């Protein structure tokens, strides 16, 4: 596998190839799912896990949609409330959904990965968190050395809460920060001190968490190179194991909270690129390895090790070391994967409760992958995770002649190859250091749905 970790920042190439495109947490992407795939289809595929005797281990995802306050940049499916009665009701229905999925589930119930996302999972009270994890453990076998992660808002969490999370089995934490600059925080309605953040990270380390990830966003209102440089210094002092550096996509037509952001205060395209360049330089000089897209990790982190060993995978939570899992997803808008199918739940609480009141799985849509989908998914995964594709491996696994099957795609790659983004050889396609930041654009070449549909405005920019 390609073990180079170098990334080259070339502003001219970025401007030239910075197009709108998917993040490829799945292929086909969720906007290609169809409503013809319903609850009965999901039940059928849950049952099929038992066929053949050897089923994959499970990954579980729970979507907790509630937040106390609104962050203006947020594009997640969330519900802003201070009424904790709403979470009590939600957990009761979540328990019913778990029961319905388990009733249909064939094969092993061994879980090697679990993630609580949102919203803000730590919106739940301590008793509610215990209730949820008791509900999970009564139906599934959570292996002792699994990856159990949770997204945390440091403004709402103290040492006691972190200690409870550790007691419940969580061993990985994602900490939302975005930016430490006060003016930026006020502009996006998320004021959070370094002290609050440090307290949570110190508590996680003291209670045995194996990995702490920190989320940052560049392109927010009032950001500039000098202010973000100071944020990076503070981040490096805190020394998280992983850093996610997301590009802010200002899409107020799609995401209502973003209408509260003053677009005049957003950094220019050039300033945004300068901030990204600075961040890449500072993080890599500090020893972080560029994993891909927007992820950095310490050299001894499991993500980095998995990439070195060719085991890195990409799913709805981003980069992952758990390639062989079936993903069961619970809660509003949650997306799961069983074998060759994806399914997504309904997006509103009313629809979610109505379906479960009818004793139906709350499926909105999904898709059963074709042989072509599976082929292209394997290519996109390889490029996104390892910056390298073995043509011979693809031909053997999928029984195709690569040059004939992908003649148009190879033609499209020529321009990128001339620009120095990729190297295309008879046996291999390699994403070069100058192309690594643009790997989403390179992967898009192999997206059959995008080839047929050039309307990409619904996606964010690659950079």
Phi/psi of residue 168, each to 5°? -80, -5
Torsion sign, CA atoms 152, 89, 77, 63: positive
Any binding-site annotation on 368? no
Tell me the chain's radius of gyration from C-alpha atoms.
Answer: 22
Q: Considering only CA atoms, which of 267, 258, 319 is closest in space to residue 294? A: 319
Any binding-site annotation on 71? yes
Any binding-site annotation on 73? yes
Any binding-site annotation on 120? yes
Any binding-site annotation on 350? no
- Residue pair 422/429 in contact (Cβ under 8 Å)? The answer is yes
Q: Tokens in use for 164?
A: 């409870």
Any binding-site annotation on 385? no
| Structure-token match 């609050």, residue found | 196
Instruction: Show Cβ contacts of residue 44 under 8 Å, excluding neighbours closer than 6 positions.
Output: none
Max Cα distance, the chain (Å): 61
Any binding-site annotation on 92? no
Give, for 413, the enclosing helix (H) or strand (E).
Answer: helix 407-418
Q: Could you give the CA distance from residue 61 to residue 398 in angstroms, rounded to a whole number?
A: 30
Distances (CA, A) of 287 to 130, 228, 280, 284, 320: 38, 19, 11, 5, 20
Q: Could you give the CA distance from residue 398 to residue 401 in angstroms, rounded to a whole number?
A: 9
Any binding-site annotation on 319? no
Q: Considering only CA atoms, which of 190, 125, 115, 102 is closest in space to residue 154? A: 190
Any binding-site annotation on 409? no
Q: Considering only CA atoms, which of 5, 35, 1, 3 is closest in space to residue 351? A: 35
DSSP codes, 89-146:
HHHHHHHHHHHHHHHH--S--EEEEEEEEES-GGGS-HHHHHHHHHHHHTTSEEEEEE
Q: Could you give the CA distance from residue 326 to residue 324 in angstroms, rounded to a whole number?
A: 7
Any binding-site annotation on 353? no
Bridge pairing between strands 141-152 and 110-118? parallel
Any binding-site annotation on 206? no
Instruction: Show Cβ contacts of residue 237 under 8 Å, excluding neighbours closer than 6 positions.
Output: none
Binding-site residues, please?
Answer: 61, 67, 71, 73-75, 118-120, 151, 178, 190, 215, 249, 335
Binding-site residues for S-adenosyl-L-methionine, please?
Answer: 61, 73-75, 118-120, 151, 178, 190, 215, 249, 335
Binding-site residues for [4Fe-4S] cluster, please?
Answer: 67, 71, 74
């Amino acid at each position: 596998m390609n073990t180079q970790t170098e990334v080259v920042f070339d502003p001219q190439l970025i401007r030239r190839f910075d197009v709108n495109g998917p993040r490829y947490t799945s292929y086909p992407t969720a906007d290609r799912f169809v409503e013809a795939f319903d609850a009965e289809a999901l039940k059928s595929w849950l049952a099929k896990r038992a066929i053949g005797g050897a089923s994959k281990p499970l990954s579980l995802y729970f979507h907790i949609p509630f937040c106390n306050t609104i962050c203006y940049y947020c594009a997640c499916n969330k519900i802003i409330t201070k009424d904790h009665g709403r979470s009590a009701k939600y957990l009761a229905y979540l328990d019913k959904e778990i029961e319905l999925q388990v009733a249909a589930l064939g094969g092993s119930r061994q879980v090697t990965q679990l993630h609580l996302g949102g919203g803000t999972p730590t919106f739940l009270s301590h008793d509610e968190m215990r209730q949820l994890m008791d509900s999970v453990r009564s139906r599934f076998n959570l292996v002792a050395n699994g990856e159990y992660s949770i997204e945390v808002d440091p403004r709402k969490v103290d040492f006691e809460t972190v200690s409870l999370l550790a007691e419940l089995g969580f061993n990985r934490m994602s900490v939302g920060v975005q930016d430490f600059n006060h003016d930026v925080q006020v502009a996006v309605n998320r004021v959070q001190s370094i002290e609050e953040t440090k307290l949570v990270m110190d508590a996680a380390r003291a209670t045995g968490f194996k990995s702490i990830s920190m989320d940052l966003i560049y392109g927010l209102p009032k950001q500039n190179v000098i202010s973000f440089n100071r944020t990076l210094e503070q981040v490096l002092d805190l020394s998280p194991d992983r850093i996610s550096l997301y590009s802010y996509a200002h899409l107020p037509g799609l995401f209502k909270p973003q209408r509260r952001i003053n677009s005049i205060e957003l950094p220019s395209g050039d300033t945004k690129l300068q901030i990204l360049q600075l961040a890449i330089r500072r993080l890599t000089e500090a020893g972080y390895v560029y994993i891909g897209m927007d992820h950095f990790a310490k050299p001894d982190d499991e993500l980095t090790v998995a990439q070195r060993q060719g085991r890195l995978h990409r799913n709805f939570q981003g980069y992952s070391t758990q390639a062989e899992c079936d993903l069961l997803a619970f809660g509003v808008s949650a997306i799961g994967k069983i074998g060759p199918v994806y399914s997504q739940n309904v997006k509103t609480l009313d629809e979610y409760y109505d379906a479960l009141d009818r004793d139906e799985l709350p499926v909105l849509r999904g898709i059963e992958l074709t042989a072509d989908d599976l082929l292209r998914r394997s290519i996109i995964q390889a490029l996104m995770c390892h910056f390298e594709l073995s043509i011979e491996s693809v031909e053997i696994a999928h029984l195709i002649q690569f040059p004939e099957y992908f003649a148009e795609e190879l033609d499209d790659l020529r321009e990128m190859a001339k620009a120095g983004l990729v190297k295309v050889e008879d046996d291999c396609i390699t994403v070069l250091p100058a192309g690594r930041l643009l790997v989403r654009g390179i992967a898009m070449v192999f997206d059959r749905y995008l080839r047929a549909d050039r309307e990409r405005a619904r996606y964010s920019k690659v950079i």
